[in-house]
Amino acid sequence: MMQDFRSQIDGKRPDWLGIGVVGLVLAGVGVLIVNIFVNMQAAGMTPGYGFLAQTAGFDLSESLIPYTAGDSYGRVIVAGLLNTILLAVVSLMLATFVGVMMGLVSVTPSPAGRMVATLYVELFRNLPKILVLLVLYVLAVRGLPPSREALSLGPVYLSNRSIYIPTIVPDAGQVWLLAPLAASALAAVWWVRRARRIKAATGRESPVAIIVIALLLCVPLGFALLADVPLEISAPSFERFDYEGGARLSVQFLVVMLTLGLYHGAQIAEVVRGGILAVPSGQVEGALALGLSRGHVTRFVVLPQVLRIVIPPMINQFVNLIKNTSIAIAVGYSDLMSVSGTIINQTFRPLEMMLVTMGLYLGLSLIASTLMNRLNDTLRSRGARRGS
C-alpha cells in the first residue's frame, strides 16, 4: 500500500479532489441519461419497467417453468434466468470432470497420455470459445441424424434437433418421500459424527462413504416400494411426428454445454496440473519413507495440499464459466442473454433490459463467488483445526 505521509501528518481532510472528479463523471453520466430521456421521448416512449407486464409473444425452445408465448416479459426473463442457471450447473460439472481427468492424465508417466493432454489444453486455450461453439454446432446439426432416425443410447435418444431423456413423472404422492429422506439424512449425519468420534478416541477407521450412500439411497427407495409411492418413469418413444414422453433438451443446450465443458475443462486441467506439480516431491518421498501406502500418500499427503492450491483458481474458473454461459446467444439457446436480446429487439428498451440483465448476471456471479469462498474458508479452518 502506498502510504500518503502528508495526510498522516495533517490529519484527515475531506477528499475534495476525489469528490470533484467523481462529481464530474457523474455529471457526465447525467447528461447521457438526459439524452436517453430526450431520445426515448422523441420516439414516444418513457423509460420505465411497465413493459415487463406486457405479453411477450415469442416462444422459447425450452423452459424449466411452464411458459407460453402469451406470458409476460417478466416471466420470460425468469425462464431465461433459470435456463442460464441450469446450463451453468451442468457445464460446471462437465468442465470439472473433464478438467480433473485431463489434469491427472497430464501428470501420468505415460508419454501418449501427456501428449494428448497437452494437445487438448493448447488447442482450447488458443481458440476463441465462440469459434468452438460454432464448429460444434455445425458438426451437431450436420452429423446427427434427423429425429425420425435418432441415435439411441439406451433410453436416451439423440437427434440433430433435440436430445430426449427419460424422467420420473411428477406426482403429488412423491412428497411423502421427503420423510424417509430426512430420516436417513439425519441417520447419515449421526453416523459420520460417530465415525469421527471413534477415530478421535481410538484411531480406528469405520466405513463412512458406503453407509451414507446406502442410507440415502436404500431407505427412500425401500419406502417407495413398500408404501407404493408412484414413481412412474416416462421414457421417450417415437410417435407419429416426434418423440413423446420424457424430457427434451435442445441440441443448442447440448452444444453450449459441451463447448463450456471443453473450454473450461482445458483451463481447469492446467490448474489441476499446476496444483499437483506444486506439491514438493519430498512430501511424497517422506510419506513413503514413513511407510504409508501409495493410496494413503495420495489421500492424506498429496490431496490436501493440492486442494489448498487448486480451490481459489477453481472458484475463479466457476465464476468465469457462469459469465461465459452468455455465449449461448450465438446459437439461440434461450438463456438470460438471448432472451433479453430478443426483448430489446421487440420493445426497443435497451437501457432498462441491460440494467436488469447485467444486474442478474452480477448477482449470479456474486452469489456463486460468495458461496464458494465461504465453503473454501470452512474447509480451510477445518483443515487448520485438524492440523493438516
Site for other proteins in 132-161 (CB under 8 A): 134-135, 138-139, 142
Closest CA to 99 of 245, 243, 271: 271
Q: Min. distance of Cβ 267 from other proteins in angstroms?
A: 10
Please, which residue, 137 or 157, has the CB nearer to other proteins? 137
Q: Min. distance of Cβ 128 from other proteins in angstroms?
A: 4
Q: Min. distance of Cβ 115 from other proteins in angstroms?
A: 7
Considering only residues 46, 126, 202, 281, which one is a binding residue for other proteins as defined by CB under 8 A?
126
113 binds other proteins (CB under 8 A): yes
3-state SS class at 362: helix
Contact 133, 255 (CB under 8 A): yes
H or E, element range at 152: strand 151-153
Please, which residue, 35 or 283, has the CB nearer to other proteins? 35
44 binds other proteins (CB under 8 A): no
36 binds other proteins (CB under 8 A): yes
DSSP string, 85-140: HHHHHHHHHHHHHHHHHHHHHTTSS-HHHHHHHHHHHHHHHSS-HHHHHHHHHHHH
Closest CA to 349 of 46, 107, 130: 46
108 binds other proteins (CB under 8 A): yes
Please, which residue, 7 or 55, has the CB nearer to other proteins? 7
DSSP state of 298: I
Residue carrying the nine cell digits 511407510: 291
Considering only residues 80, 236, 261, 341, which one is a binding residue for other proteins as defined by CB under 8 A?
341
Identify which range of 226-234, 268-276, 356-364, 379-387 contacts other proteins by CB under 8 A: 356-364
Identify which range of 88-96, 157-165, 194-202, 347-355 contacts other proteins by CB under 8 A: 347-355
Contact 136, 259 (CB under 8 A): yes
- Beta bridge mates, 167: 234
Please, which residue, 38 or 175, has the CB nearer to other proteins? 38
DSSP string, 167-236: EEPP-GGGGGGHHHHHHHHHHHHHHHHHHHHHHHHH------HHHHHHHHHHHHHHHHHHHT----EE--
DSSP state of 161: S
278 binds other proteins (CB under 8 A): no
112 binds other proteins (CB under 8 A): yes
Distance (Å, rounded) from C-alpha 264 to C-alpha 280? 26
Interface contacts to other proteins, rule CB under 8 A:
1-5, 7, 15, 17-19, 21-22, 25, 32-33, 35-36, 38-40, 42, 105, 108-113, 115-117, 119, 123, 125-131, 134-135, 138-139, 142, 323-327, 329-330, 337, 340-341, 344, 350-351, 354, 357-358, 361-362, 365-366
